[in-house]
Structure 1
Amino acid sequence: MLTVLILVPLVGALVIPFLPAASARAVGLGFSAGTLGLGIAALTQFETGGGMQLQEQVEWIPAFGVNYAVGVDGLGILMVLLTVVLTPIVMIAGWHEGDEAPRSYYAWMLALEALSLAVFCATDVFFFYVVFEATLIPAFYLVGGFGRDGRGAAAVKFLMFQLAGGLVLLFSVIGLYVVSADQGTPSYLLSDLQQLDFSEGTGRWLFLGFFIAFAIKAPLFPVHTWLADTTEKATPGTSVMLVCVLDKIGTFGMLRFCLGLFPEASQWATPVVVTLALISIIYGALVAIAQDDALRLVGLTSLSHFGFIVLGIFVFSTQGHSGAILYMVNHGIGTAALFLTVGYLVHRRGTALISEMGGLEKTVPVLAGLTLVAGLATLGLPGLSPFVSEFLVLLAAFDYAWWVGGTAVVGIVLAAIYVLWMYQRIFTGGGADPAAHDAAGHGHDAGDAEGDAHGATPAGHGQSATTTATATATATAATTTVVPDASRREVLAVAPLMVALVFFGFYPQPLLDLSNPYARDLLAQVGVQDDAPKVPATGAESGE
């Protein structure tokens, strides 16, 4: 089933370039919907608490102990579900994002989905490395081929960072082969590698190779600088796939490989990693507050959020690990909703600059409401799903050290500032009149047959007194024009995300049922036990 799950979007990616451009969107959505159905079918066959399941294994390169091997446990199935759910949502929400080359856009989108699924299912380290690197191909073309001016430079920066991480990872992958060959038969199977006896020095060096690659992918301070440029220049849909799916490979890899293969080295590195996570939480929030570009701001919030995820992973407790896994899922849902709603605004206003918006709440009330819910989820409002994961991570952080938990709480306060201030400046601030702004050259959408925004051709900025006067007159005449609110298609796209945010906010048990057994098994494999609860002595026991 997992092989079919991977192949369906991959086949779609290969078929779409040979189809008429007019049918590329529908066919791409059809393949992504089929993949969603297969993901749900895999979930129905998954037995909670049953460890690695739905496994398949075929020899690939026997001389090097390389196999095509796939399987999913609680962590893997959650990441698979997140991927198959977000892909069709992104396609519906960004129905016109790839208008200039729809076949390329939807083919690369499906290829990215297929390779991401392969990463989350891989149980052979060499196979994992191959698909880990292969995800860069569709990601590079999605960033560089579609989006705003400057996207080419952002795509190159993204690629250089990721390739550097992949090169470091390759050294550790080769190191695993050497160690397994020295201790018997060479193998890259995760189950075999977990039985190896790594010396202290060897384990720590191999751990560093994996961790650096995953820290770049996540991203984590100080190897995060590609993130803001990429999300600023890419289309909102591409940013969702990069930040909400592809970047999860980083934290997924920390759990699966860093802790799973190198438990001693992971504990050795904990003080440094916890410090980096705290810096990411605070620094990411502070930098987000300072942004004027809305898409860049949303991208930088993820630096802070990934700090929370890494913190939950490296405090070594069941609560921390469960919270980190839930955070990965809930961050994907909440940040996807925020990227898409902000993307709707940018599409209408013709600019991502917050300073050029303002006062839009009355003209786009539905879009304002959707953005507010997504923003409140981002700051961890109780009743929305990110709060549950954030609360678990904070409990684990305080249990690890009071100052670690206290520092992390500051990040939550700062999150409230960057979310609410962004909302205030865009929707309730004074701002420029929308009609005047559009007439001056930042046009909004006229709407297509579905009510979608397209085609309002903005008047040019004046180069002379005459054209300036003309633009001013046009602005005055257009005072009755308003920015169109969210269309039915746009609301339909983000509605499942909104429902998930509320549902899992009040009833997170289905997610916990999948994450908790994996967290307990991983902690047992690492050889760490949760601290016993500290119960005050009774009066009799204390001698009173």
Structure 2
Amino acid sequence: MISLLLIIPIIGCMYLLPIEEDSPQAKSRMKKIALFFSLLNLLISILMWIEFDSSINGYQFVYEFKELSFCHLNVGIDGTSLYFILLTTFITPICLLSNWIEIKDKMKYFLISFLILETLQIAVFVVLDLLLFYIFFESVLVPLFIIILTWGASQSKIRAAFLLFLYTLFGSLFMLLAIMTILYYLGSTDFQLISLSEINLENQKWLWLAFFLAFAIKTPIWPLNTWLIKAHVEAPLAGSIILAGTILKLASYGFIRVLIPFLPDATNYFMPLVQTLAIISLIYASLSTIRQNDTKAVIAYSSVAHMAVSILGIFSNTVQGIEGSIILGLAHGFVSPALFIICGGIIYTRTHSRVISYHKGLAYYMPVFTIFFLIFTLCNAGIPLSLNFSGEILSLLGMWFRSPIITCLGATGIVLSACYSIFLYNRISYGSYSPFLLPLKDIDRREFCLLLTLLIPTVLIGIFPNVVLEGLHLSISAIIYTAV
């Protein structure tokens, strides 16, 4: 099944390549082909979830590709990677549908970029070799760079694309050096072999710092978050959705898959440093969010704040904290794309502006839009019965066992997120109708289906989080207690 997940988007690209963009019919056909293959991948990932046995410890659906002498691809999944794969296959069709109408130039390459990006992200979550993990972890930069540079919003897209590329590439060079060091001393970069090897504390510290720099930039943690704000603001809507929905989760997965099990002593040693950086990121991003006047920038900064809480959960080094971090990552992967669709899609396509002060009183002419906006605003603030609430509570509970003081500081994010989320909603939705705007049309059927599709898992899994937690318990417990 894993091989199908990796191959199907590539097959979709092969179907798209021969088609010429010479007519509206051809463009419509290309969009339908890309959507079909992305939905097919989602279906296969759901079947894999159904067949996954959460009572078994270890990797499942293991597959080795040895047919080529220069390529040894070893893949498999456990409970940790399963939900990241599901999130990736769920968000990709959302991305394609979000820009279903707006993208008209070079549409074929736009669709191909997202299908390739889907394969590369899935590969990050399924490979069982550290060198291959690095290769796929970095390869997602290429389609992201092309997406922002080609279909970005303004002339600043060039700066945003290069910031994304250079920031993340710089950090990952240190990760590559660390992997080469591990390969030199152990003779292998296989996950299972590394987990069985003992590395002394001094060497672990240097290796940990190298990996952490790469992951911290991708998260991103203050002060390495400059690239994310620019990328979100300048990217097309689908680019912002994929960045918030899945790209930011690559670093979280790296923390859980690499740092905690392979370098446990160094992780414990540097835990206070990471917690301090996470608290600074949380408070700084939350206060910066309140001051923004661009709707996309508000959501981008809120992503930094939510990921800071997720980092607290991961580096609590407890089962509850790490499970809460993954739950919060899934919640952010649903709610943040929905807010981008609302602010960067629905509002922007009607008014061609993202300036908050330009919009006011939209509830007069857009009641259905306002209801969805309110629900996702409350979910973003972490109200009970939402998936965000489950993730934040578990993350903070995990941290409470380590440091009540850090937990109390982290809990300020709940109050601050309520401040900037409701402040944004209130400014746009209520008050006297903006004199700069003509009466606006409410959301159409496509936009309604997109928002409803993102709302259903946010609420259902929020009410029944055990749907996800049951698959995580054994895998997370194995990572924690094997590392110890």
Alignment of 1:18-97 (within 5 A): 18-21=18-21, 22=27, 23-50=29-56, 51-59=58-66, 67-97=72-102
In the other structure, the counterpart of 1:503 is 460
The question of whether the paired residues in 2 share the 8 Å contact of 1:220 and 1:303 is answered with yes
Gaps (5+ residues) in structure 2? 22-26
The question of whether the paired residues in 2 share the 8 Å contact of 1:90 and 1:237 is answered with yes
Q: Per the alignment, in what secondary structure is the counterpart of residue 54 of structure 1?
A: strand
The question of whether the paired residues in 2 share the 8 Å contact of 1:49 and 1:74 is answered with no
Q: Deviations over 1:113-169 (max 9, x none)?
A: 110000011111111111111111111111111131021211111111111122111
Q: Which amino acid aligns with 2:266?
A: A
2:132 to 127, 140, 144: 127
Distance 2:278 2:68 in 1: 38
Distance 1:499 1:52 in 2: 30
The question of whether the paired residues in 1 share the 8 Å contact of 2:261 and 2:480 is answered with no
1:162 to 143, 149, 168: 168
How far residue 431 of structure 1 moved from its aligned partner, in angstroms, is 5.4
In the other structure, the counterpart of 1:255 is 256
Q: Which amino acid aligns with 1:49?
A: S
Percent same amino acid at aligned positions? 28
Larger Rg: 1
Residues 364 and 515 of structure 1: is their aligned pair in 2 closer, same or farther, counting only changes over 3 Å?
A: same
Gaps (5+ residues) in structure 1? 181-185, 439-480, 528-544
Question: Between Structure 1 and Structure 2, how many residues are aligned?
Answer: 475
In the other structure, the counterpart of 2:388 is 386
Alignment of 1:285-364 (within 5 A): 285-342=286-343, 343-364=345-366
1:408 to 410, 413, 437: 410
The answer to whether structure 1 residue 237 and structure 2 residue 233 are counterparts is no
Using the size of structure 1 for normalisation, the TM-score is 0.85
Q: Per the alignment, in what secondary structure is the counterpart of residue 362 of structure 2?
A: coil
How far residue 403 of structure 1 moved from its aligned partner, in angstroms, is 1.1
How far residue 97 of structure 1 moved from its aligned partner, in angstroms, is 3.4
Distance 2:117 2:412 in 1: 35
Over the aligned positions, Cα root-mean-square deviation in angstroms equals: 1.5
Q: Which amino acid aligns with 1:238?
A: G
Using the size of structure 2 for normalisation, the TM-score is 0.95
Alignment of 1:445-456 (within 5 A): none
Q: Deviations over 1:337-389 (max 9, x none)?
A: 11111121111111001011111011111111111111111110111111011
In the other structure, the counterpart of 2:24 is none
Question: Which of structure 1's runs of 4+ aligned residues deviate more than 4 A?
Answer: 59-63
In the other structure, the counterpart of 2:204 is 203
Q: Per the alignment, in what secondary structure is the counterpart of residue 68 of structure 1?
A: strand
Distance 2:162 2:316 in 1: 35
The answer to whether structure 1 residue 418 and structure 2 residue 424 are counterparts is no
The question of whether the paired residues in 2 share the 8 Å contact of 1:356 and 1:431 is answered with no
Q: Which amino acid aligns with 1:54?
A: F
The question of whether the paired residues in 2 share the 8 Å contact of 1:425 and 1:431 is answered with no
In the other structure, the counterpart of 2:122 is 117
Question: Comparing 513-522 with 103-112, which one deviates more in the overlay?
Answer: 513-522
Residues 173 and 377 of structure 1: is their aligned pair in 2 closer, same or farther, counting only changes over 3 Å?
A: same
Distance 1:490 1:101 in 2: 23
How far residue 195 of structure 1 moved from its aligned partner, in angstroms, is 1.2
Q: Per the alignment, in what secondary structure is the counterpart of residue 67 of structure 1?
A: strand
How far residue 14 of structure 1 moved from its aligned partner, in angstroms, is 3.8
Q: Deviations over 1:170-195 (max 9, x none)?
A: 11110110121xxxxx2111001111
Q: Deviations over 1:194-214 (max 9, x none)?
A: 111212111111111111101
1:147 to 143, 152, 158: 152
How far residue 393 of structure 1 moved from its aligned partner, in angstroms, is 1.1
Residues 102 and 266 of structure 1: is their aligned pair in 2 closer, same or farther, counting only changes over 3 Å?
A: same
Q: Deviations over 1:213-239 (max 9, x none)?
A: 011111111111101111111112111
Q: Which has the higher contact order (CA 8 A, sep 6+)?
A: 2
Distance 2:69 2:15 in 1: 32
